[in-house]
Amino acid sequence: MSALKPLQVDIVSDVVCPWCYIGKRRIENALALAGEVPVDIRWRPFFLNPWVPREGISRDEYLTAKFGSVEAYKGIAGRVVAAAGEEGLTYRPDLVKRQPNTTDCHRLIHWAEHDPSGDKSSAMKQRLMELYFREGGDLTDANVLVQAAAACGMDADSVRKRLATDEDVELISTQAREASDKGISGVPTFVFAGKYAVSGAQPAEQLARAIRQVSAEVNAQAAE
């Protein structure tokens, strides 16, 4: 029997989206459930808050603009904190003091994917999310981003120099715009084999079922 063709899964998400944080854990659990299917994961950018300037804004200013007040978010946050906890994740909204524009985060993930020593994009995505949700890290601070990259095995000096330029800013903006143009308005969105999309942080079992079904279809077509 010939080997299965790897299933490409494009995950459109943002590092400051709590449901993307939860969704990342769920797709990882789904991959474990459907371990017999080879999968090629690719992280794709999305701007949850495209109006936030490159230098970021205070968290209180952001919550007031988006939810009406800081207090209004607390009820919403409680539900998300609980959902994260069910997946073994920690979300500490009280620690978050600054709301970043995520262009630089997406640049880092893109560079991590193409790192000379191998694809580090999933590790980079995870570290940035942990910094934001678990540690209240300031993702507008170049030093924080460089340390995150170094922790994932990337060259710190190179990353620092690249962050100081506009390298791949237009690329990230274009990819995020393409996602919106394709009708993606909620994240995370999981795109299987470039044609089947599942929106939202769906349960691992449901994602595993989609992985198996689309893989079977792709491989059946390849065998024809």
Output the tens digit of pLDDT for each of the chain's 224 residues: 458 899 999 999 999 999 999 999 999 999 999 999 999 999 999 999 999 999 999 999 999 999 999 999 998 999 999 999 999 999 999 999 999 999 999 999 999 999 999 999 999 999 999 999 999 999 999 999 999 999 999 999 999 999 999 999 999 999 999 999 999 999 999 999 999 999 999 999 999 999 999 999 999 988 87
Q: Torsion angle of alpha carbons 73, 148, 33, 81, nearest 10°?
A: -20
For 7-50+100-223, CATH gives 3.40.30.10
Indicate the burial class of 183 (C-beta count within 10 angstroms; 0-12, 13-18, 19 or more): exposed
What are the Cα distances from residue 102, in Å, to 51, 59, 106, 127?
A: 11, 14, 6, 14
Amino acid at 23: G
| Residue 92 · residue 134 · CB < 8 Å | yes
Report CA 221 to chain centroid distance, whole Å: 30
pLDDT reported for residue 1? 43
Give the C-alpha separation, 42 to 110, whole Å.
9
Half-sphere exposure of 40 (CA within 13 A, CB side): 8
Element (H, E) at 13: strand 7-13
| Residue 104 · residue 148 · CB < 8 Å | no
Nearest to 107 by CA among 165, 63, 38, 191: 165
pTM for this prediction: 0.96
Nearest to 172 by CA among 81, 125, 119, 108: 108
Give the C-alpha separation, 27 to 203, whole Å.
8
